Amino acid sequence: MRNISSWSIKNPIPPLVLFAMLTLAGVVSFMTMDINNQPDIDFPAASVIVSQPGAAPTELETQVTQRVEAAVRGINGVDEITSFVSEGQSRTNIQFAIGVPIDRSVNDVRDAIANIRSDLPQGILQPQVQRVDVSGGPIAFISVEAVDMTLEQLSWFVDNTVAKRLLAIPGMAQVKRSGGVSREIRVVLDPARMQSYGLTASQVNDQLRLVNLNAAGGRTEIAGSEQSVRVLGNADSALALSETQIAVGGGRSVRLADIATVRDSFAEQRSLSKMNGRQVLSFSITKAKGSSDVTVYDQAHAELDKLAKENPQVHFTELYTSVEYTKEQYRSAIDAMVEGAALAVLVVFIFLKDWRATVISALAIPLSAIPAFWFMDLLGFSLNNLSLLALGLVAGVLVDDAIVEIENIVRHMRMGKSAYQAAMDAADEIGLAVVATTSAIVAVFLPVGLMPGISGQFFKNFAFTVVVSVLLSLAVARLITPMLAAYFLKSKGQAAHGEGAWVGWYMTILRWSLRNRWKVVLLGGGGALAGTVLAFATLPLTFQPTTNTDFSQVTIALPPGSTLAQTTAVADRATAILTASPVVEAAFSDINIGAGDIFLTLKKDRPMTSVEFERNLAPKLQAIPDARVNFQSQSGGFNGRDMSVVLTGNDPVLLETTASRIVDQMRGLKELRQPRIEGDLRRPEITIKPRFAVAAQLGVTTAALSSAIRIATLGDIDQNVAKFSLSDRQIPIRVALSEDSRRTIATIADMPVPTASGGSVPLKVVADISFGAGATELRRYNQQRRVMIGADLAPGLVSGDAQPKIDALPVLKNLPRGVEKVQFGSDKWQAELLINFVIAVIAGVLLVFAVLVLLYKRVLPPFVNMGSLALAPLGAGIALHLAGMAVSLPVFIGLLMLLGIVAKNSILLVDMAIEEMSQGVERTAAILEAGHKRVQPIIMTTIAMVAGMLPIALSLGGDGSFRAPMGVTVIGGLIMSTALTLVIVPASFSLAVGAEEWLAPRMKRWFTNDEGAKTPKPAPQPAE
């Protein structure tokens, strides 16, 4: 590496061509890279969905969920299994270990479910096994209006035309309609007439399914030619269908119209959407993994514009999107990077006062940053929050190596050398130090990029972007900067360099430090360490800083059994409270039966952050009676709550009892608001218990009884209903009682059920009917029942304020046997991240030590550099206190960056001192000379890095909740550690060399044969 700069100076064309090609590749990659808010994580997972309309969660758990879990548990690579059981549906998610081939694993899951299909209930829909490809939630909600369409026609337009066109866009994963209705033929049974004819709903449904269809009839050969035979039984209209004859037994039949009302209508509405209180038909779009938020969103809007032109009567309106936040973050990150680079270049000019040297240094930033995009593209990275943040943070670091090179060249020029000779000599002198300083940063971040698990995938974007960009800056500093300096700088003869009042002051302090080495090291170093512990011990701790976005989300939950009208009333009331705030610009409600979401768009010029707005309005929303209305947590909490506790066990009763005791104790913590068990409300039920003796005499089976009641009240499952054929689709023929008939228990008690003789009897004859209550939803984790407790934080607090007190609750410290507290979901990933992060930091520090030992070929001086790492966090802790910020994930990343930068400064000092001593200069004189020569480049690089990170710390544009703590940490730590490094490192190096001189002959005598070659001591040489 020493000779590569001189080769570049003598052969300028190859380096110029190389970086021209790299820059061109970087520009092309930058223009084609995906733009996302967060990096895409390769999260190998599959889901198994089994639906059985009307089935209670308790029955689904034992008959379906447990069997599915047992079937997939033995598949190779399964990490964890989670299940969610609600009315009529069992959903099991299988998460595989990172690195497991997902396509093969999904096929293994599909085979496992196929093997147990015969063990599952007959009344289920076909089990759906699918790969989890959706990345996050919907990126936009869009409403549709039309002046010449009915609600049913508009719904079909969205399902058929809009969805098909949007799903053709690369990267579009899902288009889901909300609100509207689906067309179907409604056969509304008359209970009295059904009883008079002795017919059951299942008999009518079965006969329609067998009669109303077009079927194949074989093949004939008539008149010498071949004909295919078709059986056409499908009715042409609802009127024709109503004329269908239904057999009632005994050779008799009755018209369908005599026992039911048949109409071409739509399905019972189970959801709706509202915008600012007005009902709309909407749909959401969701992108697939590995695709760009911005690209998918922009292409979707372009396609909708085409649809609007093709259908002038249709009008699309965007209700809500999170992509504008992504775009704003992207723009602000690019701006911060450019502003930081400009400020760093300005610092170079202020110090060197030479525009040619400034331009040469400034070229290092684009020549390092732009080619980095090409390498990021090769690694499969996108332009996301973390990768752009990495480039923003290293904007000042990229010019660092070039500053050291150019400052050394200018120093040699001011000794009277020509620019060419100065470039040759200076590049050779500083070469190893520049390589070592860059290697220190690479050594710190490389283990972070290689972390395993989900956390490793998340931070791979950040760490490898830093590594690639600083390696490119090293290449620029060794190949381009000396070469340009040799041909473009102008020598002005001998001149003073690195002089001035401030240098004189530093040299006075340095001499005092070397005279009082032990005091400086023990008091200064020990005081810094104690100050660091004190500073961080008094800071609040949280995993993820709260974000300040232009959108917010409210979740609504009503007691089980609530109707759509009741849910809509609560949503309207919550919307009225929200829109009364001057902060809210628009409110979009997505309402389902018993639950809903309100998506808020906040004004950009609001006087408060989104989190402050949420915590101010939360008490008003929680005051709404008979409903749970909460803001979705923006603090990274699981299941929409700031804090969560997850318990597992095989005994549901013991689990619920333990969870209730924990909730009671959590209510006594002033840091928490609204602690409760999620999904703990029980839903009202009507229980039907067969009288087995009577049922056996009449030949009524439990299965027949269940089928008759289910079809009468709900209709049969889609795969078993008759179909009505249209030119472009088939619509279901739904046989069921009218909604009015389902409102009295007497109607249900009088429902006919089939007997073995072909007749029917009223339900109340063969069964007891009563009211009851059952579970609303059941959660499972790794084949055990799971209970989740959630709570919100009090205003102004972070998770670190409450978590220790939750962990200290008496019940949690002494859980009963059979109940276990588990880390689940984001909590599990956070714990994994912290462990991996600590391992990565230790590995990074050891790698830095290895690099320094290789550079110095000595053991004790590297310990001086390693000791300087302990000086890094003090300034960061003080800066965080001044800024009023908590210790969070970005702070840890900033501390990691500090380790590399602080090592950089100390390396420049120690390397120069060792170089001087190798020329025979006395130890103290060598240290003083190193301090004199290196103080200016150290101060220059420090101020340049601080200037480069200033836009990130201030975060004047976009949401700086993640960027700002990182910038504040690095800037505070950099300023303090540089000041301490310039004073403490020379003193500790002097002590280390003294210890080495005392130990060396003794170690040689004790551990070697003392026959090594005797190297004559070189004569003293004057320093350059």
Got the DSSP string for 880-927? HHHHT--B-HHHHHHHHHHHHHHHHHHHHHHHHHHHHHHTT--HHHHH
Q: How many whole angstroms separate alpha carbon 533 and alpha carbon 541?
A: 14
Supply the mean pLDDT for the chain: 82
Q: What is the average pLDDT across 251-266?
A: 84
pLDDT for the residue 373: 92
Instruction: Evaluate the CA torsion angle 116, 120, 124, 128 in order and state its sign.
Output: negative
pLDDT per residue as tens digits for the range 443-497: 888 888 888 777 777 788 888 998 999 899 888 888 888 888 888 888 776 666 5
Question: What is the set of domains in the chain, with CATH numbers?
Answer: 2-37+329-544+837-1001 (1.20.1640.10), 45-132 (3.30.70.1430), 183-216+229-266+683-775 (3.30.2090.10), 548-633 (3.30.70.1430)
Q: How many whole angstroms separate alpha carbon 225 and alpha carbon 217?
A: 17
Q: What is the DSSP-derived secondary structure letter of residue 1009?
A: -
pLDDT for the residue 978: 84
- Reported in sequence order, the residue ranges of 593-681 that DSSP labels E, i.e. its strands, are 595-602, 628-631, 643-649, 672-677
pLDDT for the residue 1017: 55
CB 952, CB 966: distance < 8 Å: yes
Q: How many whole angstroms separate alpha carbon 541 and alpha carbon 891?
A: 10
Among candidates 441, 443, 445, 452, which has minimal Cα distance to 835?
452
pLDDT for the residue 390: 83
pLDDT for the residue 25: 94
- Residue 723 pLDDT exceeds 70: yes
Beta bridge partners of 128: 49
Angle at 744 between CA 738 and CA 746, to 5 degrees: 110
pLDDT for the residue 203: 82
Q: Does residue 958 come out as left (phi exceeding 0), alpha (psi in the -120 to 50 range) or beta? A: left
Which two structure tokens, joined as six digits, stand for 735? 């046989």
CB 197, CB 758: distance < 8 Å: no
Residue 370 CB partners (closer than 8 Å, separation 6+): 22, 23, 26, 27, 30
Q: How many whole angstroms separate alpha carbon 11 and alpha carbon 238?
A: 87
State what percent of residues in the chain have pLDDT above 70: 94
Q: How many whole angstroms separate alpha carbon 540 and alpha carbon 547?
A: 17
Residue linked to tokens 């209705």? 181
Tell me which of 429 and 880 has the higher pLDDT: 880
CB 926, CB 861: distance < 8 Å: no
Q: How many whole angstroms separate alpha carbon 330 and alpha carbon 333?
A: 5
Predicted TM-score (pTM) above 0.85: no
Q: Which of 148-157, 253-262, 370-379, 742-751 shows the lowest mean pLDDT across its residues?
A: 742-751
Got the DSSP string for 109-157? HHHHHHHTGGGS-TTSPPPEEEE--B-SS-SEEEEEEESS--HHHHHHI
Beta bridge partners of 767: 690
Residue 571 CB partners (closer than 8 Å, separation 6+): 274, 556, 589, 591, 596, 598
- The burial class, CB within 10 Å (0-12 / 13-18 / 19+), for 654 is middle
- Residue 250 pLDDT exceeds 80: no
In this structure, what are the phi and psi dihedrals at residue 253, rounded to the nearest 5 degrees?
Answer: -145, 165
Q: Which of 252-261, 314-323, 347-356, 1010-1019 shows the lowest mean pLDDT across its residues?
A: 1010-1019
Q: What's the count of helices (H) and strands (E) in the chain, helices before strands?
A: 38, 30
CB 214, CB 232: distance < 8 Å: yes
Q: How many whole angstroms separate alpha carbon 407 and alpha carbon 403?
A: 6
Per-residue pLDDT band at 911 (split at 50, 70, 90): confident
First to last CA, the chain: 21
Beta bridge partners of 791: 643
Residue 353 CB partners (closer than 8 Å, separation 6+): none
pLDDT for the residue 1020: 59
pLDDT per residue as tens digits for the range 785-795: 888 888 888 77
pLDDT per residue as tens digits for the range 321-351: 888 888 887 888 788 778 878 887 888 788 7
Residue 24 CB partners (closer than 8 Å, separation 6+): none
Residue 984 CB partners (closer than 8 Å, separation 6+): 513, 520, 521, 524, 525, 528, 868, 871
CB 435, CB 819: distance < 8 Å: no
Distance of CA 80 to the CA centre of its chain: 19
Q: How many whole angstroms separate alpha carbon 10 and alpha carbon 7?
A: 5
Per-residue pLDDT band at 500 (split at 50, 70, 90): low
In this structure, what are the phi and psi dihedrals at residue 1011, rounded to the nearest 5 degrees?
Answer: -110, 15
Q: How many CB atoms lie within 10 A of CB 497?
A: 15
pLDDT for the residue 636: 46
pLDDT for the residue 952: 79
pLDDT for the residue 23: 93
- Residue 22 pLDDT exceeds 90: yes
Distance of CA 581 to the CA centre of its chain: 30
Q: Where are the alpha helices (DSSP H) in 142-270?
A: 151-156, 163-167, 191-197, 201-211, 238-242, 256-259
- Residue 902 pLDDT exceeds 90: no
pLDDT per residue as tens digits for the range 100-114: 888 888 899 999 999
Where b means 16+ CB within 10 Å and e means fewer, 398-428 reads: bbbbbbbbbbbbbbbbbbebebbebbbbbbe
Beta bridge partners of 258: none
pLDDT for the residue 17: 93
- Residue 126 pLDDT exceeds 70: yes
CB 108, CB 282: distance < 8 Å: no
Q: How many whole angstroms separate alpha carbon 166 and alpha carbon 599?
A: 22
Angle at 642 between CA 641 and CA 644, to 5 degrees: 75
pLDDT for the residue 303: 92
Tell me which of 722 and 510 has the higher pLDDT: 510
Which two structure tokens, joined as six digits, stand for 444? 């710190």
CB 648, CB 786: distance < 8 Å: yes
Q: What is the average pLDDT across 661-685?
A: 79
Residue linked to tokens 């710190």? 444
Which two structure tokens, joined as six digits, stand for 781? 């984790």
- Residue 833 pLDDT exceeds 90: no
Among candidates 475, 489, 405, which has minimal Cα distance to 18?
475
Q: How many whole angstroms separate alpha carbon 316 and alpha carbon 979?
A: 60
Q: Where are the alpha helices (DSSP H) in 311-394?
A: 323-352, 355-362, 364-378, 385-393
State what percent of residues in the chain have pLDDT above 90: 5
Got the DSSP string for 529-592? HHHHHHHHHTS-B-SSPPP--SEEEEEEE--TT--HHHHHHHHHHHHHHHHTSTTEEEEEEEEE
pLDDT per residue as tens digits for the range 619-655: 888 888 888 888 876 554 445 677 888 888 888 888 8
pLDDT for the residue 923: 84
pLDDT per residue as tens digits for the range 131-166: 876 566 788 888 888 878 888 888 888 888 899 999
Tell me which of 565 and 999 has the higher pLDDT: 565
Residue linked to tokens 């040469």? 360
Q: How far is CA 223 from CA 226, 230, 391, 796, in A?
A: 8, 18, 81, 90
